Chains A and B, each alone.
Chain A
């Protein structure tokens, strides 16, 4: 499929200029072709909503969507004659198309780059269940912190939990750090646990080890949440703007035919 795409792009790049010179109405042809391609690309969204209909595999649809999307980008440049339009409406339409294509390329990259990181960290959690897992970890951490008081007869560990760890366990944390792949927040927290270890006795030390494990688990869940949110989030740009683009394209077609009397 990649070979076909490269061949098609090469053909357009080499012959496109000649076609435009030879056929006066080539812009109409490329415009209708572009609109048809956009409809096929949008149909992928419809295909996902109808999984029970046997319309080839979703994997094949995705592959076709990706390669056809790149090809559509080239047809779009050909339709624009390799120059940015100067009219307001055309410029807005070109901006919409560029944003949809750009967000699609970003989404493609994200869906290739992030899943390996999700599986590497382990403990794969469905996005919808993350709050439940966070709550369970928080309850475990509170139980460990409070449980150390009767045995050790001091509140060192519970005070440390209340001042340093309670906020971390209360809600998802370190969103941007996880996106960057930084382990600095986790290492800082583990270093704080290491510092407090000097002030606790052996009983509290065992509880501190459990707290450190829970901190690592919570950090892994936060990583899952951050990456999964980004994997779902890019579609908030791609899909709404796709439908806006289709609607604006219909208006563009109407306007073109309404004002093309002299050209025909």
Chain B
């Protein structure tokens, strides 16, 4: 671990942005992506800013719901959870976007399919003769046949 640059002391490993993810939050372009991010298949998973937990003290029967919003996202909110235990700060769904790496992969797959289609159309269509005609034979290539005569 002594090799290379070390992360800064205030670096939070839990917030690490992984560039190999295929999908990024739709709000990332506006600079406010949600904490959970999209699913691997590109569906928005945002529901609320936290999942409140029920704190039950020994003398209590009902308990109290406690906000669990992380510190780097502002810590526990002022309003706190609803009486039914749901978070009061609901995140509207977004349309996740492909990451740059995923777009490149998509472009690569498109290029492969387009090339295969062009080759098949070229070799199977009416232009086959003109497409495959190697043109005027250069002197060097002619030597290949000349030796056989």
Contact = CB atoms under 8 A, between A and B. Distances in A.
Given A87-B135, A132-B32, A247-B115, A240 B17 contact: no
Contact of B31 (A27, A133, A255): A133
Contacts of B134: 85-87, 90
Interface string B16-40: 0101000010001111110000000
Contacts of A135: 30-32
A24 B144 contact: yes
Contacts of B108: 239-240, 243
B31 A89 contact: no
Contacts of B1: none
A83 interface: yes
Contacts of B123: 251, 255
A128 B28 contact: yes
| Interface bracket on A | 35 or more
Nearest to A28: B144
B23 to A, nearest CB: 12
Contacts of B33: 132
Pick from B110, B130, B138 the residue with the most CB of A within 10 Å.
Answer: B138
Nearest to A88: B131
B144 A86 contact: no
A110 to B, nearest CB: 16
A136 B31 contact: yes
A131 B100 CA distance: 14
Contacts of B30: 131, 135
B76 interface: no
Nearest to B122: A89
Closest 4 CB pairs of A and B: A135-B31, A86-B135, A240-B111, A131-B31
Interface of A: 20-21, 24-25, 27, 81, 83, 85-90, 126-129, 131-136, 232, 235-236, 239-241, 243-244, 247-248, 251, 255, 259, 262-263
